[in-house]
Amino acid sequence: MRNISIICVGRLKEPFLRDACAEYAKRLSGFCKLTVTEVLEERLPDNPSPAQIKAAILAEGRRILTKIDGKPTCIALCIEGSAMSSDEFAHYLEDISVRGRPDVALLIGGSWGLSHEVKAAVDLRLSLSKMTFPHQLTRVILLEQLYRAYQIISGGRYHK
């Protein structure tokens, strides 16, 4: 069974987001072994300086990189990444599995994004949309798209 790791900055604060993530994690359990790892989010003042933001992004990025186990295909979610349709994402996941890299680590940064070090270390930079989403909501969207991808791959009826 394929191992899917989501490594993300910060904890989910809202119950409705936790519930949505739990629902998609349950649905995904028939397709993969899902692990969600949360790393500490840096606390910043209300009006942080560019230097404070940069330091926070670097610290969070280092924490993310230490949580990548083994040699998975690493995908960073970032706005400047490549956009894919749900079908394209499903076929990408299927293709890397066929090529012998079934394990995947998906990386979600904090509210200020991902460090250059994280982006340089990944196999793919993926954008979920040209729109900007809160990083906590991104986790729900990503889990739904993973579930949709597995439904596409398996020929399920979820994706219409």
Domain spans in the chain, listed from the N-terminal domain onward: 2-154
Per the CATH hierarchy, to which homologous superfamily does domain 2-154 belong? SPOUT methyltransferase, trefoil knot domain (3.40.1280.10)
58 vs 146: CA distance, rounded Å: 27
Beta-carbon contacts of 71 under 8 Å, excluding residues fewer than 6 positions away, are: 101, 103
In the prediction, which pLDDT does 45 show? 94
**Ramachandran angles phi, psi of 98, nearest 5°:** -65, -35
Question: Chunked in runs of 10, what are the mean pLDDT values of the chain (160 residues)?
Answer: 94 96 97 97 96 98 96 96 97 94 95 96 96 92 97 87
In the prediction, which pLDDT does 158 show? 84
The pTM of this model reads 0.94
Beta strands in the chain (DSSP E): 2-9, 32-39, 73-83, 104-108, 124-127
Which DSSP symbol is given to 113? B
